[in-house]
Amino acid sequence: MRCVIARFPFELTKDGVLESMKGVKPEPVTGDSVVIGRRHYPAKQVGQVVTRQDRRDFSGGEVLRAMTRLGFTCRTAPEAAEVAEVAEVAEVAEARIADPLQRASLMLGAPMSI
């Protein structure tokens, strides 16, 4: 399938992308991601491997659009408003915890007993 990434046309196939990404270790996902096999890859990493271009030359959206058209599952980064809302809920929950031991337990992610 013909896909345009960073103003360059590429003939990409699902099998070709799978072959290109074989053996590539996924980086931590902090934004847009593509699910290839059972692994979640950052969109920019997929674009770099598949096109052999520098990550600064294309956007994650271009990669997501191309990978979606090829049939891969793609996920977009959460919006800033959603992230702020989650942080606000966490602050409220943290404010309810008065005991320093419970606060430390929450910060470490250990199960909390009440």
What's the pLDDT tens digit per position in 13-22? 999 999 999 9
What's the pLDDT tens digit per position in 29-78? 888 999 998 899 999 999 999 999 999 999 888 999 999 999 999 988 76
Gap between the Cα atoms of 35 and 38, Å rounded? 7
Would you tell me how many other CB atoms lie within 10 Å of the CB of residue 8?
Answer: 11
> Could you tell me how far CA 49 lies from the centroid of its own chain?
16
pTM of the model: 0.66
Find tokens 């598949």 and name the residue. 50
What is the CA angle 85-86-91, rounded to 5?
A: 95
Gap between the Cα atoms of 33 and 42, Å rounded? 4
- Structure tokens given for 51: 């096109």
